């Protein structure tokens, strides 16, 4: 199939929107735990903050995904969601009070929740079942390219302005505004006539879980079990920070990971279309298990670099593939709800995982987290081989 026909105008624009949004977000991501520690946050409180932020995103993903399907509209949710994330960046440094930081971080995650289901439904509408892998893979590749450029810009800035984390939060506002501008170039296709519902309640997406196809519930159950033991990547960054690497090295390794992720996402998406989403996703889980096992014992810089290389391939084999897989097994009219429901429960699981990881790290050390996650990932891969047909 001609590549031009697969990567359509809307796919390109949505991918550029995600690229600039990730430049803004990922400029701050590797320095976020470092900044939070400088204003008095403990490892435990950082874990709770990340989990709370994901919980905010989770409830909103489910609700707004369902609302998008019920109203038959996508674009307003995409535009509003990206706008909220952009304006949240400078707000987080206005005050250092924990409650304010929680509120500002949650506003960013609320924006992600508002846009996620509608955006992925727009991407799905541009694809056929045979091209879902490459469409979502291309989008993830562009999205993650932003996660390369963002930390790289942060690294360059910090070389000349060491420890000046606050200014980075202001700088991150500008690529966010560029992303908002791109959303006005998206052309939403006219939706089919739908049965309008008078009101969409916050937890209505749970109803979809009960009515969804059995294969959807089996798949999402496996994904959620894995998520329960897959804490925030913040803990990987804290691990290499505690191993004695300076801030520049931490950010550099994170950039390297995202570069690998970006480079492999599209090729693995194409491969998933050819040999099946299931095979690629399970391969990714096995790679995750290898990485986390290594993280429990790694000490040298070369080993950490090798592990983050493998981790980048894992992310490319799972993040976009999971959503593409879900959109292939749900009805088109329920695409945003199916994605929203999955990502809502996923965020709830992340809340538990990140909070528990902070507690386990504090009580038993980092190795306990990584070993447990490695074992569970292997268990989920076996579950998917046997249960998901």
pLDDT at 365: 77
Closest CA to 10 of 154, 149, 189, 190: 189
- Number of domains the chain contains: 1
Closest CA to 136 of 259, 22, 265: 265
pLDDT at 149: 93
pLDDT at 4: 46
Q: Is residue 192 part of a domain?
A: no
User: For every residue of the chain, which 3-state class applies, written as one string?
Assistant: CCHHHHCCHHHHHHHHHHHHHHHHHHHHCCCHHHHHHHCCCCHHHHHHHHHHHHHHHHHHHHHHHHHHHHHCCCHHHHHHHHHHHHHHHHHCCCCCCHHHHHHHHHHHHHHHHHHHHHHHHHHHHCCCCCCHHHHHHHHHHHHHHHHHHHHHHHHHHHHHCCCCHHHHHHHCHHHHHHHHHHHCCCCCCCCCCCCCCCCCCCCCHHHHHHHCCHHHHHHHHHHHHHHHCCCCCHHHHHHHHHCCCCHHHHHHHHHHHHHHHHHHHHHHHHHHHHHCHHHHHHHHHHHHHHHHHHHHHCCCHHHHHHHHHHHHHHHHHHHHHHHHHHHHHCCHHHHHHHHHHHHHHHHHHHHHHHHHHHHHHHHHCHHHHHHHHHHHHHHHHHHHHHHCC
Q: Is residue 46 part of a domain?
A: yes
Q: Is residue 193 part of a domain?
A: no
Domain that holds residue 85: 9-186+204-387
Angle in degrees, CA 174, 180, 186, rounded to 5 = 150
List the CATH number of the domain containing 22. Answer: 1.20.1250.20
- Answer for the pair 222, 38: CB distance below 8 angstroms, yes or no: no
Q: Is residue 17 part of a domain?
A: yes
- Tokens standing for 45? 């409180």
Q: Is residue 335 part of a domain?
A: yes
Q: Is residue 194 part of a domain?
A: no
Q: pLDDT tens digits, the chain, 389 residues: what are they?
A: 444 468 899 999 999 999 999 999 888 876 777 778 778 777 777 777 776 777 777 788 888 998 888 888 899 999 999 999 998 888 888 877 778 888 888 888 899 989 999 999 999 999 888 899 999 999 999 999 998 999 889 888 888 888 888 888 889 999 999 999 999 999 887 765 455 555 777 677 788 888 888 999 999 999 999 999 887 787 888 888 877 777 778 878 888 998 999 999 999 999 999 999 999 999 999 999 999 999 988 878 889 889 999 999 999 999 899 999 999 998 888 899 899 899 888 878 877 887 788 788 777 877 888 999 999 999 999 999 999 87
Q: Is residue 197 part of a domain?
A: no
Q: Is residue 231 part of a domain?
A: yes
């Amino acid at each position: 199939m001609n590549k031009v026909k697969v990567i359509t105008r809307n796919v390109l624009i949505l991918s550029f929107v995600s690229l600039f949004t990730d430049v803004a977000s990922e400029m701050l991501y590797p320095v976020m735990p470092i900044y939070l520690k400088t204003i008095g946050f403990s490892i435990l409180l950082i874990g709770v903050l990340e989990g709370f932020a994901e919980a905010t995103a989770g409830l909103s993903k489910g609700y707004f995904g369902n609302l998008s399907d019920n109203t038959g509209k996508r674009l307003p949710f995409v535009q509003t969601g990206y706008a909220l994330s952009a304006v949240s960046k400078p707000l987080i440094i206005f005050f250092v009070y924990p409650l304010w930081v929680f509120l500002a971080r949650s506003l960013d995650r609320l924006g992600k929740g508002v846009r996620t289901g509608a955006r992925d439904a727009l991407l799905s509408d541009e694809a056929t079942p045979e091209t879902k892998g490459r469409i979502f893979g291309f989008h993830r590749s562009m999205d993650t390219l932003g996660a390369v450029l963002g930390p790289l810009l942060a690294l360059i800035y910090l070389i000349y302005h060491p420890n000046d984390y606050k200014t980075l939060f202001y700088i991150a506002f500008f690529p966010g505004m560029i992303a908002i501008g791109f959303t006005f170039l998206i052309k939403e296709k006219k939706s089919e006539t739908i049965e309008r519902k008078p009101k969409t309640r916050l937890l209505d997406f749970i109803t979809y879980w009960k009515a969804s196809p059995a294969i959807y519930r089996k798949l999402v159950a496996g994904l959620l079990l894995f998520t329960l033991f897959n804490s925030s990547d913040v803990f990987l960054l804290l691990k290499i920070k505690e191993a004695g690497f300076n801030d520049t090295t931490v950010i550099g390794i994170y950039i390297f990971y995202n570069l690998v992720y970006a480079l492999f996402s599209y090729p693995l998406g194409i491969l998933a279309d050819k040999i099946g989403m299931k095979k690629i996703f399970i391969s990714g889980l096995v790679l995750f298990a290898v990485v986390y096992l290594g993280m429990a014992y790694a000490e040298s810089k070369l080993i950490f670099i090798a592990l983050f290389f493998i981790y980048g391939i894992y992310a490319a084999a799972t993040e976009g593939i999971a959503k593409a897989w879900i959109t292939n097994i749900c009805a088109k009219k329920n695409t945003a709800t199916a994605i929203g429901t999955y990502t809502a429960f996923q965020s709830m699981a992340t809340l538990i995982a990140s909070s528990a990881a902070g507690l386990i790290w504090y009580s038993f050390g980092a190795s306990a987290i990584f070993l447990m996650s490695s074992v569970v990932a292997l268990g989920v891969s076996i579950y998917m081989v046997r249960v998901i047909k």
